Structure 1
Amino acid sequence: MLRNYFTLAWRNLRKNKVFSFINIFGLSIGMAFVLVIGAYIWGELQVNAGVSDRVYIMQSKWKQPDMGLEFTSLAPLGKALKENYPNLITSYYRHDGLSTIISKGDKHFTEGIQNGTPSLLTMFGFKMLYGDAKTALSTPNSVVITENQAIKYFGRTDVVGQTLTINAFNGSKQDFAITGVLKNLPRNSVTNFGGSTNEIFMNEASFKFFGRDAALDAWNNPYMVNYIQLKPGVKPSDLDAAINQLARTNTTPDIQKNLKTYLVQVNDFYLQDNKGSARKMIYTLAFIAMFILLMAIINFINISIGNSVTRLKEIGVRKVMGSSRVQLIIQFLTESVLLSLFSFIIALLIYLVSRPFFSSVMGKDIPKITEFPLYFAVLPLLIVLLIGILAGMYPAFILSAQSSIDSLKGKLKTVKEKVVFRHSLIVVQFVTAIVVFIAALVINKQASFFFQSNLGYDKEQVITAKVPRDWSPEGVKHIETMRNEFAAMPQVADATVSFEIPNGQSGNASNNLYKASQDPSHGIMATSIIADEHYTGTYKIPLIAGQFFAAQGEGTDVTKLVINETAAKALGWQNPADALGQPVRVQNDPSPLTVGGVVKDFHFGSMHEKIQPILFYHVKRSPVFRYLSFKLRPGNMANNVATLQSKWSALFPNAPFEYVFLDDTIAKLYQQEMQIKKASQAATVIALLVVLLGVLSIATLSIARRVREVGIRKVLGASAMQVVWLFIKEFAILVLVANLIAWPVAWFSLNSWLTGYAYRINLDALPFLSVALILAALVAVVIAVKTIKTALDNPVKSLTP
């Protein structure tokens, strides 16, 4: 019997090829999009999933957000809690992050290094391929790497006992022994920190090698990443008193007054970090995917209902031949479920083919089918069954209830054809498509605004590269000599040495800047940039008062600093010239300073936030540096870069030339917006395709039912265009109603989204009117193409029985 149901269902699908194709294809596209977005969301939820729920990261809440970093905490805090409160803490892990040059033979790479306590290998569940997790990081000269790094340097993974040469910040080098190899790490919030990925790990004793040991146990250092693992049964609130006691005992009144430490479970940290950007992305994509699937289901139901009404005579014949109502119900539900199953199979194929494309769109690898748990196989089957039943309910339960005589006559005696219901479903589709389309235009416009706005400096033809570090006075002189060598090249317009570049990541936290005549409580928090006198020339940052340190060839007065307009105004100088020569102080800097210049405001970070106060130190006063930036002259860019690379190899034979164009650096600041932009564009295409498929199918059904009406109208003198307009008018009203509903929804949603940006576009009427016209035109074209043949046919054909 079951086989007979499937056989009949298959025959009906083949008999109605057009409707079957539209139904299957439309639903499969919606299902495929949901599969892709669902896979992305599942991948995001797996971040930190393997970490114990008793592991927490210690975060800082400052009285003013620009007083410090949120994701770091007091350097000795985790260690002190473990030593003083062993009844509360099982273990702790703290680390710093840095980058330097690592070499093996003739291989030289700039690598990110995470140096911290040995508990890294035992607290977070990372798997070792070689070495002992309990002892691998127990010695000062040990280093643990991932299998990717092992292959990169040695071409194999069994490399325990081999050595890597690591550069210190004073220009010295030392060999470190590899004591362990980790299995490649899944994305997590411990080693994928702050947008960078660390795959090389060292003992915290290496702080001394890098000259940073003084900060390791300094209570005035709030810039260390600390994790703690609580004892079973201990709650985060149980540590409040202990943390407050340690802060009162060891920190200054200023820190006690402005800092509150709190705990975030590592399992949930990824979704909460960066103001919950990952969670917002998940919600946004889930919302879009849900409505795309809803549109596809509406199409499926609409077409199934419309097509089923044409089968009334078939129902009557089956009843006359002895079919029971139960058999008819099973038959219709079987056909519907079979259609849904075919759609899912095609959706699965679309997912397999499109996964690499959507991975590039989202900027993250979307999991393969084989990476999902086995129990996930139940979910799509349930969805297939649910969609099939929803679409088959109307013909199964309503049409099967009609009497044999009414069915044979093709009439619905007790139930009118649900035109209003079907039109309501179409309006829901239109509303969804309109909202998604408008959102795509607005998001695209906001993203373009980021890249087209004046940033306050010239980013064109600027490349940056990390340099070998030697933070001694001799090292500063050497790097300045190298800078001059590069600047003398005909391909280079200017070059500068700095610790920071405009990438939104300040290497130094904000400093309290205040007038020398006032106390620190009247100061402002200003981001410091350490650079040489060529910084503004390379980046073309306008100077509006004074000098940017000394001119080239003159001595540098390191007692002077330069500030931006915002800093000058915040300190009370509305006229930038009034700031020149004024004595100022920076907290924790023992020497007084003088304002030597004021630069025009520029976007050092992203346009998400307002421009903050900035102060410039000269690199000779604070001898730390990371970057050489080059302003290249116009011309053949490939040749210019190649010549620069050749010069680099001559000047820095043991350092890689890993350059980045500043445009690409800036683009990373808006990675989330670019992901949303690409996802919304893909969703718009899919939404419009689903809507137009639905319009096509409903128009086809409508034409099939009104052939005689068309014939009569033509006999009475109606023109072909009047006939076409007859069908367009039906959908024109639906499009109008959909716009009236969609516009307020889109406006409130997008206006709320835009308020998250300090610098944003104005939400005007253009996107709304454009979408309305485009959608109306597309619907009109689809209907016109479908109806024109019927409108031009001889009316005799339509009226002939």
Structure 2
Amino acid sequence: MIRNYFKIAFRTLMHNKTYALINITGLALGLAACVVIFLIVQNELGYDNYHTKADQTYRITLHGKDYNPSCAFAIAPAFKNEFPEAEVSQYFPEQGGLVSVDDKKYNLKVYAYADQNFSRIFDFSWLAGNPKTALQEPNTVVLTESEARKYFQDKDAIGKVIKLNNEHDLRVTGIIKDLPSNTHLVFSFLVSWETIRKNVNTSNFWSIQGGMVYIALPKNEPAKAIEARLPAFVQKNWAADIAWEKGLLLLQPLKEIHFDRRYLNQISMPRSKETIYGLAGVALFIILTACINFVNLATAQSLKRGKEVGIRKTLGAFRKQLIMQVMGETTLLVLVSVIISLLAVMLFLPYTETLLDIRIETASLFKQEMVGALLVIVIITILLAGLYPAFIQSGFQPLKALKSGISDNSNGKSFLRKGLVVVQFSITQILLVGTLIVGSQMDFFLNKDIGFDKDAIVTFSTGEKPDVLRQKLLDNPGVQHTSFASGGPAYNNSFAPFSSPELGMTENDVTEIKQVDENYLSMYHIKLLAGEPVTKVITKDTVANLIVNETLIKRLGISSPEKAIGQRFFIGDQPIRIRGVVQDFQSESKHKKIRACVIMYNPNSFWQASVKLRPEKMRETLASIEKDWSALNPKSLFSYEFMDERIASLYTQEYKMYNAFRMFSTIAILIGCLGLYGLVSLMAVQRTKEIGIRKVMGASVPGLVVLFVNQFIWLILIAFIVAAPVAWFAMDKWLQEFAYHINIGPEIFLLSIITTMIIAGITISHQSIKAALMNPVKSLKSE
């Protein structure tokens, strides 16, 4: 019997190829998108879960004026003495480096120093070497598989030597598999902590250089009990250091690091769980849209099959059998769609890293939880898409069906179908508004109100001979402006406490310190609001004369830039006099408020060159700069970064989600268009006689097209009324994650409704024009 159901289903689908193709395409797209989104969500929510001790592992973080994932190198050794029950590991990630292997050189993005306890706390897949001793001795290194292949191809890397930063000769003692994409740990290789331990400050509480401390507690040891002892631990070891400023140590659970938005200054930027759940919501919208397509098309198709059902009932078919027949057709469609969707997913997954910056292995498709989730999705899809059409079709009255056919308004099908179209358009407009708002916020991140010029500016190291380099840059015809500094506006690496008892600010705050040359403000177009610009003078006075930003004078309680000139405050114990005030500029991401900033001239800290290129010959100029730089620094490799790329890197996680929302929203809209196209096609077939009569009576082609379009315009407007408040509420909540964000204006909603109208109009017009152009004699004769 079941075999017969599928045989009839196959014949029916082959007889209605267009209907079957539209349904299979829509379902396949929906299922493929859902599977990919499920894999992305599973990947994101599973950050660092694969470690055996994940539930017992914590990162020690610092909370002073803000939350800092790093703490002083002094913490780890003292913590080991005070809390012997915990496993403690020192980890120190570094960005940028140079590796030399024989006569070849390689630029590094990220590597790290780690002690021998690191591999006891975290699980890595070791391909070679002893995890217990690989990082025990100085000048040893553990490579990831891809790094080992890059340096030594297919040769055995164990025992080989690489040189790091022209300083350390490192012996390879281990090889591990490349890290999975869902970990906050990011490194190319690990150098033993013993290599640099003697060269770092392990005594001062506030000597924070980017190092991190991880601990693994015994299973029966509650983290709250350890955290409660931390204030006494800090007081005991660093009472003098924290006398002027409160410093708290906190325990951050390993599994929460990826989602904790309080900690922003780290290589792997955190992401809110709400954004991930929002992406899961998009998957629900997509599969719902695909199911609505199926129900609408199946219900409309049932009108054509009224006589078939009437004959079957007259010949003795039971309603249960008719329901099973329709469910068989639905199951066949869904199964074919599943096969196509899985093939599409397998072809797409290798590109997820390029498109979404998320690496997902094809093997993830065959994991138990993925197979289970796919079965649940398939069953729900079959039930959602098949049950209603099955009950409607099986409920036809045989006499009525055979005598006059089934009308479009029978059993409320027309009302339900219009309601489903409204739901579909509502989903489309919610996703469209969401995508437009995220896109506007991304543009705001990268281009609006950053307070400095970033166009055509490239940054790189000043190298070993900065004075010679500066002259060569000035002589280069492709260079417009040049400035040397401790870092460009979007780079921050130096902070200090400041206060002003005489202005009533007795509590310390944190200021960023930028050490720049006399060209810095003019090249970056940082606006001077009052006072004097940076000059090429090193003051030897007891009181230093420096330039500050607007935020700093507001923190001091000064009402205007003009009134700030000559006012005094302290950076640590150093007295400072304000000689100039500049407009605020964005040195960190817009996730948090702009902090106070001090700008001073100090050539001893000029580590980065910034160059504004002439746009007409940027490639040639860069090649010329690389040639000059390499000649001055023969032991190093030239590496540069455009300022706009640096700014974009601050919003990597948001850009991932923007690309995902944009892609999957497009898929949802495409599925909706497929369904709309199919629905109009069926309507055109059902109204062939009416169209023929109207044409005979003098109706024009545009008039007939408007007849079709009008039926959907008011549905789109109702959908907009439903979608607009939902989209506004959801996106307003998302925008609250950022200290600076756009305001949701009416233009976004207007653009959304216009776009939806255009998309729907194009979709409807194609098929309605085709129907309107049909020869009325032929249509009336066939009817």
- TM-score after normalising by structure 1: 0.88
Q: Which letter maps to 1:62? A: H
**Contact preservation (8 Å) 2:613, 2:621:** yes
Q: CA deviation at 1:156?
A: 4.0
Distance in 2 of aligned mates of 1:122 and 1:784: 65
* Equivalent residue runs for 1:270-349 within 5 Å: 270-273=258-261, 274=263, 277-349=271-343
* Equivalent residue runs for 1:188-227 within 5 Å: 189=183, 191-192=185-186, 197-208=187-198, 211=199, 213-214=200-201, 216-221=202-207, 224-227=211-214
Q: Secondary structure at the match of 1:328?
A: helix
Aligned to 2:103: 106
Q: CA deviation at 1:16?
A: 0.7
- TM-score after normalising by structure 2: 0.90
Q: CA deviation at 1:246?
A: 0.4
**Contact preservation (8 Å) 1:516, 1:583:** no
Q: CA deviation at 1:577?
A: 4.7
**Contact preservation (8 Å) 1:36, 1:366:** no
Distance in 2 of aligned mates of 1:356 and 1:692: 28
Q: CA deviation at 1:694?
A: 1.8
Q: CA deviation at 1:84?
A: 2.5
* Equivalent residue runs for 1:2-401 within 5 Å: 2-51=2-51, 52-60=53-61, 62=63, 64-65=65-66, 69-87=67-85, 89=86, 91-98=87-94, 99-111=96-108, 112-156=110-154, 158-167=156-165, 173-187=167-181, 189=183, 191-192=185-186, 197-208=187-198, 211=199, 213-214=200-201, 216-221=202-207, 224-252=211-239, 255=242, 258-273=246-261, 274=263, 277-369=271-363, 372-401=366-395
Distance in 1 of aligned mates of 2:232 and 2:439: 51
Q: Secondary structure at the match of 2:325?
A: helix
**Contact preservation (8 Å) 1:309, 1:395:** no
Cα gap change, 1:782 to 1:117, in 2 (>3 Å): closer
Distance in 1 of aligned mates of 2:764 and 2:382: 28
Cα gap change, 1:336 to 1:636, in 2 (>3 Å): same
**Contact preservation (8 Å) 2:693, 2:776:** yes
Q: CA deviation at 1:335?
A: 0.7
Cα gap change, 1:795 to 1:132, in 2 (>3 Å): closer
Q: CA deviation at 1:427?
A: 0.5
Deviations 1:447-470 (A, max 9, x none): 2233333533222222112355xx
Aligned to 2:484: 497
Distance in 2 of aligned mates of 1:130 and 1:136: 10
Q: Secondary structure at the match of 2:506?
A: helix
Work out the percentage of aligned pairs sharing the same amino acid: 31
Q: CA deviation at 1:296?
A: 0.9
Q: CA deviation at 1:640?
A: 0.9
Cα gap change, 1:568 to 1:198, in 2 (>3 Å): farther
Deviations 1:338-393 (A, max 9, x none): 01111122222332343355432312224325564145234323422332233222
Matched, 1:531 2:528: no
Q: CA deviation at 1:645?
A: 0.8
Distance in 2 of aligned mates of 1:720 and 1:426: 25
Aligned to 2:668: 687
Distance in 1 of aligned mates of 2:80 and 2:420: 61
Deviations 1:527-569 (A, max 9, x none): 1223344433443434444445433xx6565844332232233
Distance in 1 of aligned mates of 2:576 and 2:342: 66
Distance in 1 of aligned mates of 2:20 and 2:688: 22
Aligned to 1:662: 643
Aligned to 2:716: 735
Aligned to 2:751: 770
**Contact preservation (8 Å) 2:469, 2:628:** no
Q: Secondary structure at the match of 2:164?
A: strand
Distance in 2 of aligned mates of 1:609 and 1:268: 20
Aligned to 1:419: 414
**Contact preservation (8 Å) 1:95, 1:204:** no
Q: Which letter maps to 2:663? A: A
**Contact preservation (8 Å) 2:92, 2:114:** yes
**Contact preservation (8 Å) 1:545, 1:577:** yes
Structure 2 segments unaligned to the other structure (5+ residues): 265-269
**Contact preservation (8 Å) 2:48, 2:183:** yes
Cα gap change, 1:48 to 1:629, in 2 (>3 Å): same
Q: CA deviation at 1:407?
A: 4.0
Distance in 1 of aligned mates of 2:637 and 2:744: 46
Q: CA deviation at 1:668?
A: 1.6
Cα gap change, 1:647 to 1:340, in 2 (>3 Å): same
Greater CA drift, 119-128 or 69-78: 69-78
Q: Secondary structure at the match of 2:358?
A: coil
Distance in 1 of aligned mates of 2:132 and 2:462: 35
Q: CA deviation at 1:614?
A: 0.3
Distance in 1 of aligned mates of 2:376 and 2:367: 16
Distance in 2 of aligned mates of 1:405 and 1:279: 57
Q: Which letter maps to 1:419? A: S
Distance in 2 of aligned mates of 1:94 and 1:410: 82
Q: CA deviation at 1:306?
A: 1.8
Aligned to 1:472: none
Deviations 1:678-717 (A, max 9, x none): 3333234323222222222222223333334444555666
Greater CA drift, 267-276 or 280-289: 267-276
Aligned to 2:598: 615
Q: Which letter maps to 2:249? A: T
Q: Secondary structure at the match of 2:100?
A: strand
Q: Secondary structure at the match of 2:569?
A: strand
Aligned to 2:267: none
**Contact preservation (8 Å) 2:517, 2:535:** no
Distance in 2 of aligned mates of 1:403 and 1:513: 85
Distance in 2 of aligned mates of 1:615 and 1:188: 38
Aligned to 1:561: 546
Cα gap change, 1:109 to 1:498, in 2 (>3 Å): farther
Aligned to 1:471: none
Deviations 1:698-742 (A, max 9, x none): 222233333344445556665554443333222122112111111
**Contact preservation (8 Å) 1:132, 1:180:** yes
Q: Which letter maps to 1:513? A: F
Distance in 1 of aligned mates of 2:755 and 2:692: 31
**Contact preservation (8 Å) 2:418, 2:715:** yes
